[in-house]
Chains A and B, each alone.
Chain A
Amino acid sequence: MMQRTANILLVIGTATAALSGASARLPWREVVIERGVAQAEFLAFEVSLGGEVIAQKGAALDEGLCSKLDALGFSSIKVRSPAIPMELLDLNSATGEVLAEAVLLPGEIEVINKGRLIDPILTARAAAASVEFSTDSTPPRLSQDITLPAELRVSTFLNDKALATLAAAGVSQVPVKRAQPFRWHDWPGRWAFLLSISVMGVAVSIKRRALATISDAGRNEGSMSELKMNLFALAAAVDQLAEEAAQLSAAEIHAKLDPLIEGPSYTFVENRNVLKAAAGITVFADVMDPFSRGERQLARAWSASVDGHEGEARASLVRAVPLLHAATDAFPS
């Protein structure tokens, strides 16, 4: 019951935390409108009432529009975030900024080679420059070289080299990106996020308590004795096989190894966590370290027997014996 409650809480908490977290990246934010007070913001959506368009998307929130919206009963409105996605800057103050749009370099040209794949950006550039081109292939590629006005691409980082290029081309102002810095106090989703995280926290604490109870239950003698039985049975069987191996062919060793690997060895590995829960990580490591090395020697014996190398198969079995005994010795009594 406790586990189920915790699971439900954890699912609800995680889902609402993810949703509220996602709201930190909204392309808009809500601002309060005051009659006659202009704000340096722009509408994120078109505003319409009863089919009549009150204001277009992108309209500036000036005094007139604020008064109009206030009169219509709007107390708040969704505006673009960031308000200004780009800003025009003088070249000498644009160091370290990023171009928000491609900038043409007047007087300079760029030759686009024949064979270039035709994509929407190239099509738009050619259209803007009234340059026509032809294609005769699939996917479409230029069938001849074309010449377009040179440009610095959108998102170009304005380092010294880029600025020098722009200056040489006579460009004096550039459009640069303006991001909206994240402010915790301005984020309306913060309370929902904190609440969701708290729900997750409660669920986690219930789950941990429930798991501790299960770990206690894992200490029952039945599971441990089964685990011990598997390990000791494996060690004894490998002892015997290592002794008999001198008289066995590779194929016979292989045939005897399969049931050991798929039987007690596999079962021990599958149930190993009972030991961790019951005896703690140190004892678990003391058992699993030699067991795993012994298990690997069994796998090596298996591989060698399949390859027809009975000498290596026998040697690997002999190496496995003390390792598996070390594991049985370390197993808590």
Chain B
Amino acid sequence: MPTKPAGTLYRGREGMWSWVGHRITGVVIFFFLLVHVLDTSLVRVSPEAYTAVIGAYKNPLMALGETGLVAAILFHAFNGLRVIAVDFWKKGAKYQRQMLWIVLAVWLVVFAGFAIRHLSLALGGH
């Protein structure tokens, strides 16, 4: 009975999925930086155009996007420190899993703090 023709996904554990997350957030941050460099460089071309573009960001949809961006940057930053520790700290490889839980815990605390303040400012009026 031939079923699905495709192969299965490799069932890696915490290390593999943190790497997948690191990759995805890395690409997201890259595209943000691309747009960010472009919109910021507009100020040299025409300050009016710059103001118009930055002003266009002031809407709820962009606020959600910014929240997502901060979530990605925070994960990439904290997990990046974990990867450095794995490479250069003698016991890094041994405690990589514990370090991932620490990364996620710190991420949750910092992100929750940011999200509450940012979304209440952006969506809750003044």
Q: Are A and B a genuine interacting pair, yes or no?
A: no
